[in-house]
Amino acid sequence: MHTTRMMLRSQGLALILAFASTLSARADTPRVPPEFTANYAVSYRGIQAGNLTFALQRAEDGRYIYETKADPSFLARLVVSSNAVERSEMIIDENGVRPLEWSLDDGKSGSKGDGHLTFDWEAGRVTGFAEEQKIDLPTVPGLQDRLSIQIAVTTSLLRGEEPGTIPLIDDERVKHYTYRRVGTEVIDTPLGSFDTAIYESAREGSSRLSRFWMAPKLGYLPVRAEQIRKGKVETVMQIRAFERAE
């Protein structure tokens, strides 16, 4: 009987240690944004411009693919094609977000509005083209493309970190955008009310400012975003649909 009790205690201790080890492994695993599809209504200077759909998916090889497609209104089709697609492939790990490849197809004939970038982190170079301009630049720590920067911000917030200043390759040069928290607000949307943290993003010397209402309940996805130029709101995005992958 004594031997049996010792064996049970030993087995129980082994189970506890195994469970504790599992919890420790989970705690050490860096948080990543959930896969999702989100749709936003877009307006420009008070005029409805259509909808934008953003989707984040994880590929079988572990890469993350972030893609946006446009569904412009009748008037907006004069400047934006309904066939336009922007896409970023990236790695998300304990070091954060690292873009690997970015592409833009503006949906129109010719390549004037298209772009493609390849991030070679081992060689320390970003090469490709944007709007018919050749690009060949050195990488810098934390460098993002126009889409991956959105995932970099949400990833930082999910991990309890502030985004800070993020370098972004835009056209043929690297620009630095600083994100700072400016308050909180409850936002009403077609999906209901959300508690949000408000962040502003700006570049030194620029008259443009972006403001985001980030919802922790949606993995810090913005439920509203504004682009402001010279103190006036120009573009507004409001979430209208959201689906999280199981």
Token readout for 61 is: 């090889």
- Specify the pLDDT at position 77: 73
Token readout for 47 is: 């005029």
Contact present, 40 and 238 (Cβ < 8 Å): yes
- Specify the pLDDT at position 29: 65
- Specify the pLDDT at position 110: 76
Q: What 3 state SS string does the chain have? A: CHHHHHHHHHHHHHHHHHHHHHHHHHHHCCCCCCCEEEEEEEEECCEEEEEEEEEEEECCCCCEEEEEEEEECCCHHHCCCCCCEEEEEEEEECCEEEEEEEEEECCCCCCCCCEEEEEECCCCEEEEEECCEEEEEECCCCCECCCHHHHHHHHHHHCCCCCEEEEEEECCEEEEEEEEEEEEEEEEECCEEEEEEEEEEEECCCCEEEEEEEEHHHCCEEEEEEEEECCEEEEEEEEEEEEECC
- Specify the pLDDT at position 40: 97
- Specify the pLDDT at position 30: 73
What does each of the 246 residues of the chain score in pLDDT, given as a tens digit?
Answer: 444 444 434 444 443 334 444 444 344 567 899 999 999 999 999 999 999 999 999 999 999 999 999 988 876 776 778 888 999 999 999 999 999 999 999 888 777 889 999 999 999 999 999 988 999 999 999 999 999 999 999 999 999 999 999 999 987 889 999 999 999 999 999 999 999 999 999 998 889 999 999 999 999 999 999 999 999 999 999 999 999 986
pTM: 0.85
- Specify the pLDDT at position 171: 76
Nearby residues of 78 by Cβ (< 8 Å), 6 or more positions away: none
